[in-house]
Amino acid sequence: MLIAMASIETRTGLAPVASDEPIRTHGQDLLGRARLADLIALQAVSPAPDAGLVIALTGPWGVGKTSVLNLVEESLRAHEHALAIRFNPWLSSGGDLLPARFLMTLASEFTRLGAPESVVGAVTDYAASLSDPAAFGDGQPRGVAAAAQQVALSSQAGTRVTESPRDRLARHLRPYPGRFVVFIDDVDRLEPEQLRAVIRLVKLIGDLPRITYVLAFSRERVEATLRAGADANVGRGYMEKIVQIEHHLAAAPGDHLLDLTLTELRAALRAITDLDDDVLESDELITPGVGALLTSLRQGRRWINAATGAVWLLGDEIAVEDLLALEALRVCEPDVHGQLPVIADALTGNRAERFDAGSATAEEDWSRVQDVLATAQNPAATRTVLAELFPAAKRLLEPQFSDVVERTWRFSTPHEGDARVADPLLLARYLGGN
């Protein structure tokens, strides 16, 4: 079925923009992650009072880690004395100051949440000790003069002479009835120096009593950054020493993800076109290659926004399925999409009449196409999409060059009125007008 829109009107209004913001409540969960969030919340409040805990939520970018953290925070509301705290390391300008700034954030949140004054004071004192490395190292005084000063201060305050600010904080946290759950999201998106600072931070104070840390990151990216840094011995083993519980968040099953995305796409197309339900519900609305490109609900919603815009602009000139496929490339494979003008003549096979590309050979065409495909993150799906868009150029998309390409490299263009981007004029119209 060819869904050309020459006879279909595009409405004046545009569909509401599909939001790719993380979800915040269990009622918004379409991917069945609520049960995992409930489990993480239960684990976060379960350690003994003397114990700290570090939980990792790992997975690739765009898989929904932030959404799960939001669901965990909601689940914590069902647990008495569980207090959620968000910490954003992006706001720190220097790695050396990160531990002190983190502790001051804790002090502020503890005050807001009604924690005892003794706990707030202990956190503030520990932060002060870490922010003055000339006076303290790891919460301990340096030098005879500093030690004498601490003895005098301890005598006046009636505290233990050998008690460091960190020990004092731990002592005040133990009897507190609550559990503080600290969320640190997007650890893997930090600059290398900031990332290492966050890891050192968690290692430094990760075992403080009554505090659970929930970190969200891509394990591969964090380990690669740690290995590439000055600390040559860090990486997977280093993270395993810090993290006690890890949950890996896999991508949603492809069929389920595609069904959810198509439901939203169809609603968006109904808002901007007069396509009837037979067309919108057709299995040919999107091609198999497009379905293989989409790997997350966030990506799907970005595609819907791009695709509905393209249909609104060019839907009366170019087949809908072609516009949907091209916009899937734009969103999922931006490097490939950006180089389409470079290989347009090869894909359409009509260079002599339309593109003035000289006397290129089939092997040169194949080589140029392969160079572009080498930039794809999902090469198999990208090849499939391009073959669906440009069926006559299928030989050029194969990984190996063959003499079959040489014999068939001049392709005929589609019949006039087909509205397919395999026609060089329509491809040029898309590339120039969108």
The mean pLDDT of 403-415, rounded to a whole number, is 49
Taking Cα atoms as reference points, which of 122, 89, 123 lies closest to residue 106?
Answer: 123
Averaged pLDDT of the chain: 82
In this predicted structure, what is the pLDDT of residue 12? Answer: 53
133 pLDDT more than 60 = no
Burial readout 17-28 (b: 16 or more C-beta within 10 A, e: otherwise): ebebebbeeeee
> Percent of the chain, pLDDT > 90?
44
Q: Identify the band that residue 305 occupies on the pLDDT scale cut at 50, 70 and 90.
A: very high
pLDDT digits (tens, 9 = 90+) for 16-41: 666 778 989 999 998 999 999 999 99
The mean pLDDT of 378-387, rounded to a whole number, is 96
Taking Cα atoms as reference points, which of 303, 266, 392, 285 lies closest to residue 3?
Answer: 285
Q: 337: which 2 tokens? A: 């999409």
pLDDT digits (tens, 9 = 90+) for 214-236: 999 999 888 888 877 655 455 67
Q: Identify the band that residue 151 occupies on the pLDDT scale cut at 50, 70 and 90.
A: very low
* CA–CA separation, 105 and 89 (whole Å): 11
Q: Identify the band that residue 80 occupies on the pLDDT scale cut at 50, 70 and 90.
A: confident
142 pLDDT more than 70 = no
48 pLDDT more than 80 = yes
In this predicted structure, what is the pLDDT of residue 25? Answer: 95
Delineate the domains of the chain, giving CATH numbers in brackets: 32-248 (3.40.50), 254-433 (no CATH)
57 pLDDT more than 80 = yes
122 pLDDT more than 80 = yes
In this predicted structure, what is the pLDDT of residue 322? Answer: 95
Residue of higher predicted confidence among 359 and 46: 46
In this predicted structure, what is the pLDDT of residue 44? Answer: 96
98 pLDDT more than 50 = yes
pLDDT digits (tens, 9 = 90+) for 310-331: 999 999 899 999 999 999 999 9
Residues 65, 185 contacting (CB under 8 angstroms): yes
